[in-house]
Chains A and B, each alone.
Chain A
Amino acid sequence: MSESCEITLTVNGVRHQVSVEPRRTLADVLRIDLGLTGTHVGCEHGICGACTVLMDDQPVRACLVFGVQADGSSIRTVEGLAANGELTDLQQAFSRHHALQCGFCTPGFLMLAEGYLAETPAPDRVAVREMVSANLCRCTGYQGIVDAIVDVAEQRFHERPI
């Protein structure tokens, strides 16, 4: 076993210092070392997207980044979305549009969409479909997920500060 490294991560605005083995993925650091089990782990080789988080505002696969590589970065996970028990507009839209059934893939889809919408405020439906093809959902058939994201995109676009 190789020696542990001290790393600093800012997760959902809170700074954490943890000591991790280099081979521990960011997904495992979040789940095991920080107890943030909202980030789900599916395939662990970059196919399913269940572990998607935002790293310095960009969506990444947390299973394809080692914790040590993320040292010094800022991470957002699904736990950082709802504040004071109130779901965000995106989470509410997922509920409203039945964009989840079993819910296993949902944290990944939420973070993927959150990162994407920050960069692409007014996407069309085709672009959203293309974007969500990054992640696997075995329940919904994607229709509800696309509906929810398009709905929020429109809502945010109309409510944007001018």
Chain B
Amino acid sequence: MKPASFEYHRATTVSEALTFVNELGEDAKFIAGGQSLVPMMNFRLARPTALIDIMHIPKLNSIYRDGDSLIVGALTRHRTLELTTDASVVEGFALLSSAARWIGHTPIRTRGTIGGSLVHADASAEWCMMARLFDAQMTLEGPRGRRTVSSGDWFQGMFSTAADFNELLVEIQFISPRRYGALAEFARRHGDFALAAVAVAFDVVDDRLCNVGIVIGGVEGIPVRASEAETLLEGASLGAVDVEGAARSAAAGVEPMESEPGEAAYRRHLVDTLTRRAIHDALATRVQ
């Protein structure tokens, strides 16, 4: 057996999960699909003393529309979001379905959850990028009741979020729909976490780009907005989108991580290339 030993508890309601974590303390961990946590435990990078299984809380597995917002329960599987393409539900958030296809592989997506991914907070994770892109609001339940954290405050550093150990992420509300969008990634092997990834979304009004969002993942410790590049594209007329300028600006604005020599320069180069690709692909979704 590879992981260190632990106690196992299964919660079937949110309040039961909170009671467990209150009793078991900081060394206990919630487990949802476990597609990041179990490998970390198998490597003994994570050694929780207890696991609180939240996968059997039925009300956290849901996707619904509320006006302009898309509300996704924390235990919704990647695969479910991938297969949710009904325009009445995902209008303005169509990119979520295509972003899901970049997550690992099918057998990972059948089990992994959006909430698990956001709490794990890998900077290159697709849901972390989508949360930044569509201004997600994360709803937590904890000993102090319910609170909501915006995506700008959620990511606190590599693998670190605003959620306290005894708070449970229950719901994600995507609040800024955009009609057009694309995600471009580069990884050495298909299905791996990206070395760099760029997501772009915007609306088009009177043949001009507006509400432009550009998010860069996997390059810094958290997913970041390329605000200068966003400003550069805001209001651009469709016939004269300065793709190269935006890509250069996005690449110049990042401070890439370097885990091996030369990687930072390479990641910066990738941001340039992937930004161009994502803008072109997003513009192409307009034609379809």
User: A22 and B34: CB pair below 8 A?
Assistant: no
- Tell me whether A66 and B34 are in contact (CB under 8 A): yes
Pair B106/A45 contact, Cβ less than 8 Å = no
Q: List 7 A-B contacts (CB under 8 A).
A: A2-B5, A22-B5, A23-B4, A58-B107, A58-B111, A69-B53, A133-B105
Chain A positions near chain B (C-beta within 8 angstroms) = 1-3, 5, 21-25, 28, 44-46, 49, 52, 55, 58-61, 63-66, 68-69, 71, 112, 115-116, 131, 133-135
Give, as a whole number of angstroms, the nearest-CB distance from B42 to chain A: 5
B190 engages A133 (CB within 8 Å)? yes
Please report the C-alpha to C-alpha distance between residue A133 and residue B1 in the assembled complex, in whole angstroms: 27
Question: Are A46 and B106 closer than 8 Å at their CB atoms?
Answer: no
Contact (Cβ within 8 A) B6 A22: yes
Interchain CB contact under 8 A, A44 and B42? yes
Whether the Cβ atoms of B38 and A46 lie closer than 8 Å is yes
- Inter-subunit contact A49/B5 (CB<8 Å): no
Give chain A nearest CB distance to B65 CB in angstroms: 25
- Scan B1-34; emit 1 where CB is below 8 A from any A CB, else 0: 1111111101000000000000000000001001
Q: Cβ of A22: which chain B residues have Cβ within 8 Å of it?
A: 5-8, 51
Q: Which residues of A contact B266 (CB under 8 A)?
A: none
- How many chain B residues sit at the interface, stated as a range, is 20 to 34
Pick the contact of A61: B4, B8, B53, B107 (CB < 8 A). Answer: B107
What residues of chain B have their CB less than 8 Å away from a CB belonging to chain A? 1-8, 10, 31, 34-35, 38-39, 41-43, 51, 53, 55, 79, 104-108, 110-111, 190-191
Bound state CA distance, A58 and B35, in angstroms? 15
- Could you say which of A45, A64, A115 has the most chain B C-beta atoms within 10 Å of its C-beta? A64
Contacts of B43 in A (CB 8 A): 45
